[in-house]
Structure 1
C-alpha cells in the first residue's frame, strides 16, 4: 500500500507540466540526483492532501541549476549560502513557487533564533546529511525520483506507522537550534493527530520560557511566527491545542491572562460543568462535535470562530463578584463581555494574530472582529430577543458589516457548554435567535445600516451612568455615523468613531 501511494505520487509528477523541469535537468545533467522531500512524502503516506512540493537536487552547481530553471520559468535565489531557489514554471497553475534546493547543513549559533543559523549548501553533500538537519523524523524523508527509493535516515517511517512525533536526534539540541520548533511540534501533533514522543514532550517545558526571550530589545522568536503556529494548531484541533499549550507552559509564557480562568467558579445552577476553564474547554470541544456539524454543516470552523470561543469568557475572572466577598445574590460577572473583549484584543495584538492575509478565509484573524464577537456574545440572552426591535436584531445577527455568522456559532458553542442542574444545555434562547433571524432572512430584505454605537457603547466608552445624556450624545453622533459608513471599513470605522467619542470631538 505504501509503495502504491509513492508510485502514484511519482506518476503525478511525470504527468504535470509544472514539473517538466525534472526531466529537463536529468537530460542536461545525467549524473544529477533529484529528491522530493519533507511534508509531501509524509502526507502522501498518511493519505493526506498536500501541495507542499520541496525538492533537493544533488550534483548540479547552483549557477547551472539557476540557468536551466530560468529557461523554464521565473527563478529567485533565497540567499547564496542557503542554495534555495523559488521556481515558478511558465504558465503555471500553482499558487506558490516550488522550492528547489541544494543539499544543506545547518550550524546553529545556539541562541534559538530561527535566523541564527549558518546554512551552507553543497551540491555534493549526501541526501542523508541534508535530512538529518530537519526538525522531526516524519519530515526527514526523501523520495529519489530516479530510483523510486525512499530515504529515511532517522526512522521516520516507523514513527509514521506509530503516529508519533519525534525530533531528529536529541530534542533539547534540536529545539535549541530554533525555538519555533516547540510550537511546530504542537501544531503537527494537532494537525496529524499524532502522539508526541515522551522524550520530545519532556523537553518542551524546559525550554518554553525562551519563546518570550529578547535579545537586543527584539524577540528571539518573532511574534508573527508564534501566531502562525498557534493559529494553525487551534484551527486543526481546538481542544488538543488548548490542552497542549496549557500543559506545556505556553499559556503561562504567552497568554497568561487565560490562566485566571482556572478555578474561577461559576454559579452551579447554570454551570454544572465546572469553572470557566472547564467551560471554555467544553465549548471548544463542541466546535468539532457531530451536533455542531448537524447545526452548521460540514464546512469546519475557521480561526475567527475558534478564537472567539477561546476568549469568549476571558473577562469572567476579572469581573467576578461573589455573595461572600461582594454581597451579591449569587456569583456574577457584570461587564465580563466588555472586559473580555479588551483583554482578548491585547493578547491578539501582542502576539500579532493578524499574521495571515485576508485572502485566507480559514486562518485570517482580524482582532477587532473577534473582540466584537466577545463583546456581544450575550446579545439575545441577557435581553430577550423576542422583545428586541427588528433593526437591533439585524444589527447583530443579519449584518454583512460585522461577523454576525461567527457570533451565532460562538453563541452555539457557549450554549452547548453551559450545563444546567438537570445535566443538559438549554437552547431556548439560541432557538429564539435562529427563529427570529430566519424570519428576517426569509423576507429577503437587506439589513438596514445599523448605528455604529448604542447606549451601552457610549456608557462603556465614556464610563457614564444611564440617563438622558446618553441619548443626546447618540443623536448628535448620528450624522457623523452615516458619513463614516460611506467611506471606511466597518470595524476600522467603529474604532475611529469610538476614539473620536473618547476625545470628545463629536460632542
Structure 2
C-alpha cells in the first residue's frame, strides 16, 4: 500500500495528531462545567420533573394548608426535601413527603397548622398544646429538634407529615470518648430563619440534598445532586472524611445502600472514606477506656461482638468499635447492629449483585459477612463449575436473580453455598461438597442472630438454603407426592422461591459442555402442576383431603401411628390422580387395613 509521506510520519499519523489536538481544546473547554452545561442531559426536562412534583404535592388535599402560609408570612419557604425530589428525578414513586419550613415563627406555625389538623411532637405526643404558653411551645419545638408531626384533617396518608425547621449540627463533641463518628454525639439546633441551603448542607449525600419550594417553585440544588443522579454517582456532601469518619460512620453504610438503589458508583474520595470504617481502629478500647470504671463491661461486650463477627485478633474495625453510651449507660457498637441491618437489607433488596460489588470495593465483606469472604478461593469441580470458585458462582447467581425476586430469595441466593467452606472434600480424585446445604443452615442462624434480623425471615431463608439442592436431585422425580405437597403447596410462595433458587443456581453453574442441568427441576415442576389438578380447593389449613381421620374412625379404626401412614398413602393416591372421590378413598382404606 502506498501513502503520502510527511518526513518520517505518515499522512494518517498527522491527521490523528490534528484530531487529538481538537479534542484537547474540547477537554480544556469542558473543565469545571457540569453535564447540563455540556448538554449531556436535558436540564429543562429534569427541572420539569421536579416542578411536576411540586404541582402534584400542592394538588393533594393533605397539603392544602400550604397556600394559606403565604398569607401568614409573605416570604415563607415551604420545601419538599431529599427523597421525594431524588425519586422524582429517577422516575420512582416516593413513600413519604416531608417538608422543611423557614422564615416563619414556630408558635405562629403551630397555631396555623392546628386549624387544618392535629399537631403532635415525638418528645411529648400527649402534650395539650391548648394549655401551653408561648415559652412552653418554643421549648417543646426545641426539644423535638425542630420537627413538628402533622396529621391534616381527613388525611388518607398512612404516616404523619414531618414539618421541620432548618437545622444545623454541632459536631464539636465528636471523639469526646476517644471514638469519632458516633452519630448521637452531634448536637442538633433548629433555626426557623436559617437558609434552606444550610439545612441541606447537613445531609449525607448530594442526591439527598435537593429541594423544591412549594411556594415559589424554586429548585434548590447547591451540591449538584441532580448532576450526580444523572451520572449515577454517590458523593458525600462536603469533605467525606469529615462527614463520615468524624461525624457519622453509619453514612458509609447509607452511601453503599444508595449505590445499590441507583445501580451506580461511589465517588473516589467518598469511597476512600468508607473504606476507612472497615479498617482496624488506631486504638483498642482497653487503651481508650483505661482506668474507666466500666472497662470490664466494655471488654465483655467487645468479646461478644468479636465472636459474632468472627474477629479473632487486632483492634476492632472502626464501625464495630465499642463505646460506652453514657446516656443509655451501657456499651454499644459505633454503628449499631440495627442500623447496619437496615442499610444492608435495603441494599440487598435493591440489588444484591451490586451489594456484593460494593462490599468488596469497600473492604466490608470480611468484616460484616466473614462467611462470604471464606468462599473466595474455594475451588469447585470444573466439570460442573467452569465459572470459577464458590464466590464467583455466588456473584453470578445473585446477578441472575429476577429484579422483582422476594427479599428472602435474594438473601438465600447470597447465602446458599456458605456451607461449602465447611464441607469441601474429595472422592475418587474429584472435589465434593456433601451436605453443604445443611451446613449452610447453621450459618444462617449465626448471621441473623448477629444482625438481629426477624425470626420469620430467618426461618424462610434457612429453609431455602437447606433445601436448595432438592429440586436439582434425582429424588425430585421419586419422592412421594405427599412430601412434595408439604414442601411446595402448603406455602406456595415459599415453594416457588425454592424452585426459582434452584433454577438460578443451575443457570449460574457452567458445566464443561455449556448446558445447564435443568432436567430434574423440569420433572419436579411437571409433578407439582399435575398434583395441583388433583389436590382440591385450598382451605385455610392447606389443600382439601378426600379422606380424613374422622373417616377412619367411622370405619372402626382407633387413632394411632397407623393413622398417619394410611392418610399419607391415601393422599399420595389423590395427588397422583389414582383416586378422585371419597368413595374411591374409602375403598382404598378398606384394602389397606382389610375391613
- Please tell me whether the aligned partners of residues 419 and 426 of structure 1 are also in contact (alpha carbons under 8 angstroms): no
Structure-2-length-normalised TM-score: 0.69
Alignment-derived partner of residue 322 in structure 2? 214
Q: Is the 8 A contact 2:419 2:437 kept in 1?
A: yes
- Does residue 379 in structure 1 map to residue 470 in structure 2? yes
2:425 to 312, 321, 333: 321
What residue number does 2:115 align with?
A: 71
Distance in 1 separating the partners of 2:276 and 2:194: 34
Post-superposition Cα deviations, 1:460-479, rounded to whole Å, max 9, x if no partner, equal xxxxxxxxxxxxxx969989
Maintained 8 Å contact 2:119/2:149 = yes
State the distance in 1 between where 2:116 and 2:395 align. 51
Cα deviation code 1:391-450 (max 9, x no counterpart): 111121222288222211111111111211112211111111111111112224368989
TM-score (norm 1): 0.80
Distance 1:412 1:47, change over 3 A: same
Q: From the superposition, tell whether residues 42 and 447 of structure 1 become closer, same or farther in structure 2 (CA, over 3 Å).
A: closer
Q: Distance in 1 between matches of 2:365 and 2:562?
A: 44
- Which secondary structure does the structure 1 equivalent of 2:425 belong to? coil
Query: How do residues 270-349 of structure 1 correspond to structure 2 at under 5 angstroms?
Result: 270-288=384-402, 300-323=404-427, 329-349=429-449
Match of 1:353 in 2: 453
Residue 30 of structure 1: aligned partner = 74
Query: Shift of the alpha carbon at 1:262?
Result: 0.6
Q: Equivalents in 2 of 1:281, 1:476: separation in Å?
A: 48
Equivalent-residue separation in structure 1 for 2:445 and 2:154 (angstroms): 43
Could you say if the C-alpha distance between residues 98 and 476 of structure 1 is closer, same or farther in structure 2, counting changes exceeding 3 Å?
A: farther
Contact 2:96 2:159 survives alignment (8 Å): no
Unaligned runs of 5+ in 2: 1-44, 124-140, 175-179, 279-316, 325-330, 543-559, 566-595
Distance (Å, rounded) in 2 between the aligned partners of 1:345 and 1:442? 37
SS in structure 2 opposite 1:205?
helix
State which of 122, 129, 150 in structure 1 corresponds to 2:191: 122
Structure 1 segment 86-485 matched on structure 2, within 5 A: 86-108=149-171, 109-110=173-174, 111-176=180-245, 177-208=247-278, 209-216=317-324, 217-288=331-402, 300-323=404-427, 329-354=429-454, 366-400=457-491, 403-445=494-536
What SS does the corresponding residue of 1:278 show, helix, strand or coil?
helix
* 1:5 matched to 2:19: no
What number of residue pairs does the alignment pair up? 434
Distance 1:197 1:264, change over 3 A: same
Matches of 1:477 and 1:281 in 2, distance apart?
47
Return the index of the structure with the highest Cα Rg: 2
Q: Distance in 2 between matches of 1:446 and 1:267?
A: 45
TM-aligned CA distance change 1:475 to 1:252, over 3 Å: farther
Secondary structure of 1:322 counterpart: strand
Over aligned residue pairs, what C-alpha RMSD do you find? 2.5
- Equivalent residues of 2:477, 2:520 under 8 A apart: no
For structure 1, the 5+ residue unaligned runs are: 290-299, 356-364, 451-473, 480-507
Correspondence for 1:85 among 144, 148, 165: 148
Asked if the contact 1:399–1:447 (Cα under 8 Å) also holds between the matched residues in 2, the reply is no
Contact kept, 8 Å, 1:33 with 1:59, in 2: the verdict is yes
Post-superposition Cα deviations, 1:267-303, rounded to whole Å, max 9, x if no partner, equal 11111211110111111111137xxxxxxxxxx1121
